[in-house]
Structure 1
Amino acid sequence: MATRNRMPPWHEIFKAPSGHELLIRPIRPEDGAPLQAAFSLFGPEEIRDRFLQSVTELSPETTQRLTHPNPKTEITLVAAESLPAGEAVVGAVARASIIPGTREAEYAILISRFLIGQGLGRQLMRKLVKWGRGKYLDRLYGDVAAENEPMKQLAASLGFKPVPHPNGAEGLVRMVLELDN
């Protein structure tokens, strides 16, 4: 009988048109140091689009929160070199977190400028949507800087709809996907 080469859950080899090959997988605690080191690979504009402010480094608290997600309410995926966790350079991070007391989750994605336009954001978003559906959530949303056209276009191409930010936050658009569970 032939043996199938199966990947663990939430793992996938991503082959970019540029030739980069990355492993998409759940984040692990040992990814903390490489994640902090890789933060320098993200340009100021990418960081501002994700964090909605200028940030020069990941704080230990943010790193801890990202690398230790609660599996019942959060998923954090990385796209990294196919090396052991703790050694692999991290090129992208995607996260979704259920809002307590609701059936909704907020997503966020950060991709290195070296990997933008390769289809990686789309693949990570698809995985976050799959996770949300698997959790029987009603909706998945993300707050996007109004000038971040690539993210708004990506989200719209996957069925997300722009809605005014509920807090009336200037410069933000909320992209919402009804999951129809």
Structure 2
Amino acid sequence: MQDKSEATNFVPFKVSLCNEREVLVREITGDDKAGLLAAFNKLSADARYARFMAAMQQLPEAMLEQATHPSVEREFALVAIATENKVSSIVAGARYAAAPGSDTCEFAVTVDDDWHRLGLARRLLGTLIDIARSRGFRCMEGYVLSSNTGMRRLAKRFGFSDLACPDDATLRVVTLALQDSERKR
């Protein structure tokens, strides 16, 4: 397994979406705390529940700190920044995290409700998969609400298996072998 602490020289890139909107995708930084908090506060209650699997009214400071300061050796996080009317804001985020020494990472993708169905989640997840693969992870998995058909369809498009969670009937576990699979979109 490759040393995951080696930085992937991630180059920010622009994405043109289906409705001619454009975003800049880049790594998250410590300076993104206020923007991430604003993005969280914009999410609907359903979107928050789908992402955190709990009814969250506020993003705890510890979670905000961890989100904006990922551990180089076992985490990676992206944000998508939109600029509309000369105001920049975070409209989506994606991340993976792994337990120390593990070759499996768990992913999460969150997209602002107003930015759904534009291809943004697909671009973010594809980028996460490529980075996790380049850092030597062998498997990527995610826990997805059974009712979250959009994320389940997206995972299937990338070749993830989709199985019932043995401990919770409301969840599905989507899993992708990174080193043995071809890149799908």
Give the TM-score, by structure 2 length. 0.86
Return the offset for 1:82. 5.1
Which residue of structure 2 aligns with residue 165 of structure 1?
165
Deviation digits for residues 55-93 of structure 1 (CA, Å, limit 9, x no counterpart): 12211111100000111111010001259xxx7311011
Q: Are the equivalent residues in 2 in contact too, given 1:80–1:88 (CA < 8 A)?
A: yes
Correspondence 1:18-29 to 2 at 5 A: 18-29=19-30
**Which has the larger strand fraction?**
2
Which residue of structure 2 aligns with residue 177 of structure 1?
176
Matched, 1:111 2:111: yes
Which residue of structure 2 aligns with residue 5 of structure 1?
none
Say which SS state the counterpart of residue 172 (structure 2) adopts.
strand
Quick one: distance in 2 between partners of 1:93 and 1:112? 9
Change (3 A) 1:56 1:10: farther
Q: Are the equivalent residues in 2 in contact too, given 1:99–1:106 (CA < 8 A)?
A: no
Q: Are the equivalent residues in 2 in contact too, given 1:50–1:109 (CA < 8 A)?
A: yes
Structure 1 unmatched ranges of 5 or more: 1-7
Q: How many residues align?
A: 170
Quick one: distance in 1 between partners of 2:108 and 2:39? 17
Matched, 1:141 2:141: yes
Matched, 1:73 2:63: no
Which residue of structure 2 aligns with residue 89 of structure 1?
89
Quick one: distance in 1 between partners of 2:20 and 2:26? 19
Return the offset for 1:9. 2.2
Q: Are the equivalent residues in 2 in contact too, given 1:143–1:173 (CA < 8 A)?
A: yes
List, as ranges, runs of 4+ consecutive aligned residues in structure 1 with deviation greater than 3 Å.
none
Root-mean-square deviation (CA, aligned residues, Å) is: 1.7
Matched, 1:57 2:79: no
Quick one: distance in 2 between partners of 1:10 and 1:62? 26
Counting aligned pairs with the same residue, the percent is 26
